[in-house]
Amino acid sequence: MPRFDRDARETVRSARTAAILDNARAVDPERLLYALFERADSHGATLAGDTITVDALRTAFDRANRRGGISDSESELLARMGVDVATLTDHVEREFGEGALDPRAKGRKGSPGFTDDLRRILYGALNEARELRSRRIGDGHLLLSALRQPGIAADVLIELGLSYLEVRARMAA
């Protein structure tokens, strides 16, 4: 069974450290992706090419989290159904305060655990490594899994121009 390599372990450790410093309740895919793209020697970031920067990630996640985790593509779909997410978000924030829909809750003491979404990405990375017949699970497998798992992380990566199939082809090459 493949094991996490040094780079993947360092990415997960960095995400966990960020969650602790942010006083977050849990380590989530957002922090994992920040950790992945902040590392200059990250194979996963190299696989993405020059497509994604940490600043672009932060902007996209902030926009989606302000709307309660609704991505741009989901917002467009809801607009076609007659729901204006921006107006709805503004209304909720007027009633309950800025960031009321933001799922990135703060305030837990102690060591944060992993969200279910992050666990799915970590398990998915194992599957990606197996499918590619890799002996180790690297940060590139983490990126592939983040793209493959439904959720805000995949939505943000796709909106920023990444494609699962393109990254997978680069991994296999």
- Which amino acid makes up residue 133? R
Q: Which residue has the tokens 């309660």?
A: 68
Lowest mean pLDDT among 14-28, 97-111, 135-149: 97-111
Give the mean model confidence (pLDDT) for residues 64-82. 82
Mean pLDDT of the chain: 86
* Average pLDDT estimate for 80-103: 77
pLDDT confidence bin for 110, thresholds 50/70/90: low
Task: Judge contact between 21 and 31, C-beta under 8 A.
Answer: no
Overall average pLDDT of the 82-104 stretch: 75
**Which pLDDT band, with edges at 50, 70 and 90, does 106 fall under?**
low
Is a pLDDT exceeding 70 seen at residue 109? no
| CATH number for the domain running over 3-68+114-172 | 1.10.1780.10
| Better-scored residue on pLDDT, 85 or 38 | 38
Report the alpha-carbon distance of residue 113 to residue 95 in Å, rounded. 31
